[in-house]
Structure 1
Amino acid sequence: MKRQERGLGLVGLILVSAMVAVFGLVLVQVVPTVIEYQTIQRAAQRAAQGNTVAEVRNLFDKAAAIDDIHSIDGRDLEISKQNDQVIVEFAYEREIHLAGPAWLVMRYSGRSK
């Protein structure tokens, strides 16, 4: 009786390696945008401590300068009040070029608590 061979052939190994490499390249480009989103979320939370619209935008711009935020600035914030509490909302898009005409578009939005 012949035994069936098991395992990964050369072609399979090359295909799996290529898929892992492509996934890794995309992941390396996406992770910094997620980290920046979390930084923006913290900056919006700190900016919500302000009392006026100008003060909130100024606080956010100072935090953006310190934390190296480039995706949005204080002018892009939507500031409102609910029950005497300042609410800071934001939304923005990040695009990552993959290859040729292919782009990965990520839409981020958030608000202070």
Structure 2
Amino acid sequence: MNTRLAAKASGLSLTGFLFVIVVVALLAVLGLKIVPTVVEYSAIKKAIANARNTGTTAREIQDSFEKQRSAGYIESVTGKDLEIIKTAEGFDVSVAYEKRIPLVGPASLVIDYVATTGR
């Protein structure tokens, strides 16, 4: 007797595959919009750390940050946005800002960034 057992079908259906592709595409687009803001945030953190180390007064720290800002493609923060606090060890420099990323229509993604040189 030749009996054939029907093989059980397994895998992804066409609609399932399309759904997975749409989700991956949406995540990729979202990632492409978020990554530049994260890169800018890391540039801001480096710039405020360098400005704190090179400046001896609040004005010098702001000027140093402004120089690094123009060289580092930093657009979200200016030297006037820095919060500079004098401490016993020198200065603590911090900045807090909000980045709004438009998504679709009225929907947008808001990311709050806080960078500080506090110890």
Aligned counterpart, 1:3: 7
Aligned counterpart, 1:35: 39
Aligned counterpart, 2:74: 69
Cα distance, 1:80 vs. partner? Answer: 0.6
Counterpart AA for 2:59? A
Number of aligned pairs?
113
SS at match of 1:87: strand
SS at match of 1:16: helix
Whole-Å Cα distance in 1 between the matches of residues 21 and 27 of structure 2? 10
1:47 aligns with 2:54: no
Aligned counterpart, 2:108: 103
Q: Superposition RMSD on alpha carbons, in Å? A: 1.1
Whole-Å Cα distance in 2 between the matches of residues 100 and 40 of structure 1? 29
Aligned counterpart, 1:82: 87
Whole-Å Cα distance in 2 between the matches of residues 83 and 20 of structure 1? 51
Runs of 4+ in structure 1 displaced over 4 angstroms?
Answer: none
1:13 aligns with 2:17: yes
Whole-Å Cα distance in 2 between the matches of residues 98 and 4 of structure 1? 42
Output the TM-score relative to the length of structure 1. Answer: 0.95
Counterpart AA for 2:71? I
Counterpart AA for 2:31? L
Whole-Å Cα distance in 1 between the matches of residues 102 and 9 of structure 2? 41
Output the TM-score relative to the length of structure 2. Answer: 0.90
What stretches of structure 1 of length at least 5 have no aligned partner? Answer: none
Q: Percent identity?
A: 36
Cα distance, 1:100 vs. partner? Answer: 1.7
Cα distance, 1:53 vs. partner? Answer: 1.1
